[in-house]
Amino acid sequence: MATGLEEAWQNLRLTSDEEQVVIVDDEEDSSTSELILLCLLGRLYTTNSFNPRAMKAVLWNVWKSSKGLVIRDLDSNLCAFQFFSEADRDFVLNKGPWAFDGCILLFKQMIGLEVPSEVVFSMARFWVKAYDILRKKHTVSFAQMLASNIGFFVSYDEATMFGVDKDFCYGCGKLGHALANCDLAHVEDGDDSLQYGVWLRALPSHVVAM
């Protein structure tokens, strides 16, 4: 049987129409590219069965994306989360890790050149807080050094770099947390829509303004 199939395969020939080469234009549509960059691929880190519909419903309610959210099933335990604003996308990336049914949800930001089913999910973002650090070590370079011993450095919270972790929030205007830890505002520092700003922040006693 196998020999017969091999011989039949060797006798196959493409027709003139089938031999035509289709040239794909490399020109990108700006609107499509923007949507791709606002899309995250996600996989629940588990080998057990779970309810995908329930997971999507929970995430939809928890994230409350201001500009909308579309969740598509691409494969078994593989979803595409399409956001429509950078603030909503970054909120999910930076406020995690997120979990469902006791399992962590892993993300990869799409660039448009990957095959979703072949994407490897091997990393998750975590906020790490270090205690009893010398004041002179409250620097970005020291934060990067600490992160390199754990995984990879992503970003740092400016509001807590000098130990000022009971500050004003530029997003909601309340005391007790910074913008990066706000569950009410899906915006970033520098956003023109922010009602509050750095002028609310008092300088620590050990910082001298020149």
Could you tell me the residue ranges of all domains in the chain?
32-118
> What's the CA gap between 91 and 187, in Å, rounded?
8
CATH class assigned to 32-118: alpha beta
CA separation (Å) from 122 to 5, 67, 108? Answer: 41, 29, 9
CA separation (Å) from 172 to 51, 58, 91, 154, 204? Answer: 35, 24, 15, 25, 22
Mean per-residue pLDDT, 109-115: 82
From the list 64, 44, 41, the residue with the least C-alpha distance to 52 is: 44
Is pLDDT above 60 for 52? yes
* This prediction's pTM: 0.58
pLDDT at 204 (0 to 100): 43
Mean per-residue pLDDT, 112-131: 82
Mean per-residue pLDDT, 5-11: 72
Is pLDDT above 90 for 81? yes
Angle between helices 86-94 and 52-63 (to 10 degrees): 110
- Within 8 A by CB and 6+ apart from 46, the residues are 77, 101, 103
Is pLDDT above 70 for 25? no
From the list 190, 159, 155, the residue with the least C-alpha distance to 177 is: 159
Comparing 46-50, 76-80, 130-134, 184-188, the range with the smallest average pLDDT is: 184-188
pLDDT at 210 (0 to 100): 33
- 41 pLDDT band (50/70/90 cuts)? very high
pLDDT at 207 (0 to 100): 36
